[in-house]
A and B are shown apart, each in its own frame.
With several copies, the nearest count.
Chain A
């Protein structure tokens, strides 16, 4: 079996081949022995090149969370991962919410002229206030949220155009 994963914009190629009771894993061209010792309740115990490894996992939609040795990873199927940071929406520059929050105050209106760094709106979550600033000088092309609205992380809040 051959598989491709994406994590943080990097794509990995993995192939698995059954060999008796174990597997031969080829990860980005390098070969390893993989022996499955046990699998239960979201915990995989394997020997990887003879060394024990405990890997916890949890599926989350089409993504897969994995944890090993204090590090947490999220693996996606390639191309599925939305990539919000390269957001050019409708010709303008998109302004994203940095966290899940509630909109406390919208300080500009559509059509307003703003300078880079001007505060566009205020968000609040867990009693913390976040000031969302304009990433560039220009005009507020679109304002996509209103006072009191709940927003997700990476949701587009506004667009700044020329």
Chain B
């Protein structure tokens, strides 16, 4: 087993991986940018190395600086988390060339799945069903011609894409060219690659994905499905396992295709094969394979009873999976909600600001994967995901009830976030009946407003009491710029160092 691992990421996923290292007795190295000098992940690691300024391309996307940090600390392996360099084959290769182990799939598997067009072809020829569409030379004129053949609505999608970036739904031919241009720009910024593919758009489609786990000894297993149909801006906000939609027979078929897909590219380590399922005909189609850990991996961990991050590390260290497919099973039901700094009443646009107070929910069956604590700030530089709240219960209604109770207990003061919105989605009869699709949030909650616009009298009375006691005004209580939670009068003079975002 490795003695020391470098975690090439930030936020909740870096914290998650650092905890796994700690439990396995492996020393950990965090890397951080200027903006993250005091971030949770830099504090939880055994060592923390500064790698650059706030913009990701100067820090978390800098292969050179990350490898330098690994060399400097004597790390033996690198965990990329998700996002950033996690699906960058060049990074996987550079890690290997530096004599380190990349905790993820072989660079060839990343490459094979990274180009959405090539992956579509490969899957087609491997017998995995794909959505009707087009991949190939992608000059605008060709795309316009191919689009006409496929018909509308259709999806314009970055060949190098992921996470819903560089993707547009096009409802009619007139919108096509601007959509292609916009998707190309977004893809260029996000991935440095503006190649596009086209896919038929399936209305009311469900997003169902299969977690796979493959070791270096030829064992390829699946850890069942996750349903992630509750999305906004093509990004998931609520995920669950098992899916309330599929039955045992469909699960078996989709899992079979997922294993076929993983084997086709010589996959190793943890990965996810995403499918869309047409609810009318119950046909499913390969969407893409995410060659990394997913944000929503906790729901699988709770239902399958396995620690995916620890298995990623063990597989990278050459260990053999000690269980067979038949020994794995789903138990109970898990739901994950993503707490984002964003405004659901303003097109879900990201928000920034200080986390003046963040209190995580507690109680049996509730798990919180957070990357922030009170006193931190969400900045313009990185993803606005603050924390994931995950609830497990014996059945789906129990898990929904537990999640609602957990969200009601969550406190998040200082910026706009989607906590109230998530509660409304969970309380919706369609959601409770499991009747959702990938545009359901837009269709149903497009004009959502916080339902409790009226302040309840106890909150107003509390506010009045705070004012009465002279405690409601920051300027009245502390010199400006001071940490409002510092127990000390002279706290304002206390924060030193280069920190501060």
Contact = CB atoms under 8 A, between A and B. Distances in A.
Do A and B interact?
A: yes
Interface of A: 1, 3, 5, 7-8, 10, 12, 14-16, 21-23, 25, 27-28, 30, 32, 34-42, 44-48, 50-62, 64-73, 75, 98-102, 104, 122, 124-131, 150, 153
B464 A1 contact: yes
A41 B486 contact: yes
A122 B185 contact: yes
A84 to B, nearest CB: 12
B414 A60 contact: yes
B413 A67 contact: yes
A71 B36 CA distance: 27
A45 B38 contact: yes
Contacts of A60: 354, 356, 413-414, 474
A53 B413 contact: no
B165 interface: yes
Contacts of B495: 38-40
A57 B498 contact: no
Contact of A16 (B468, B477, B485): B468
A55 B409 contact: no
Interface stretch (B41-49, B90-98, B110-118, B435-443): B41-49
Interface in B342-377: 343, 346-347, 349-352, 354, 356-357, 359, 374-375
Contacts of B349: 98-99, 125, 128, 130
From B43, B374, B411, name the one whose CB has the most chain A CB atoms within 10 angstroms.
Answer: B411
A21 B346 CA distance: 42
Contacts, number: 241
Nearest to A39: B494
A28 B464 CA distance: 13
B48 A127 contact: no
B460 interface: yes
Interface in B228-265: 233
B413 to A, nearest CB: 4
Contact of A48 (B37, B38, B458, B485): B458
Interface string B457-501: 111111111111101111101000001111100010011111100
B281 interface: no
A36 B43 contact: no
B413 A58 contact: yes
Nearest to A23: B465
Given A36-B496, A39-B483, 5 more contacts: A50-B47, A51-B47, A62-B475, A99-B352, A100-B380
Contact of B350 (A15, A28, A125): A125
5 tightest A-B CB contacts, nearest first: A70-B408, A58-B356, A59-B474, A25-B461, A65-B413
A99 B353 CA distance: 11
Interface stretch (B216-224, B300-308, B314-322, B447-455): B447-455
Interface string B384-415: 10000000000000000000000111111110
B486 A40 contact: yes
Contact of A75 (B37, B455, B491): B455
Contacts of A127: 165, 189-190, 383
Given A52-B43, A59-B477, A67 B412 contact: yes
Nearest to B42: A52
Contacts of A23: 461, 465
23 contacts: A1-B464, A16-B465, A25-B457, A30-B457, A34-B461, A39-B469, A40-B485, A44-B462, A44-B466, A48-B457, A52-B47, A58-B484, A59-B471, A59-B472, A59-B473, A59-B484, A60-B356, A61-B474, A75-B455, A125-B352, A126-B384, A129-B185, A153-B351
Nearest to A69: B408
B186 interface: yes
Interface residues of B, number: 84
B357 A34 contact: no
B419 interface: yes
A48 to B, nearest CB: 4
Given A40-B483, A98-B346, A1 B468 contact: yes
B460 A5 contact: yes
A71 to B, nearest CB: 5
A17 to B, nearest CB: 10
A60 B353 CA distance: 11
Given A37-B38, A60-B414, A64-B472, A125 B467 contact: no
A52 B407 contact: no
A64 B190 CA distance: 37
From B352, B383, B462, B495, name the one whose CB has the most chain A CB atoms within 10 angstroms.
Answer: B462
Given A32-B457, A39-B486, A128-B165, A66 B380 contact: no
B420 interface: yes
A122 B183 CA distance: 13
B62 interface: no
Contacts of B4: none
Nearest to B375: A40
A55 B459 CA distance: 7
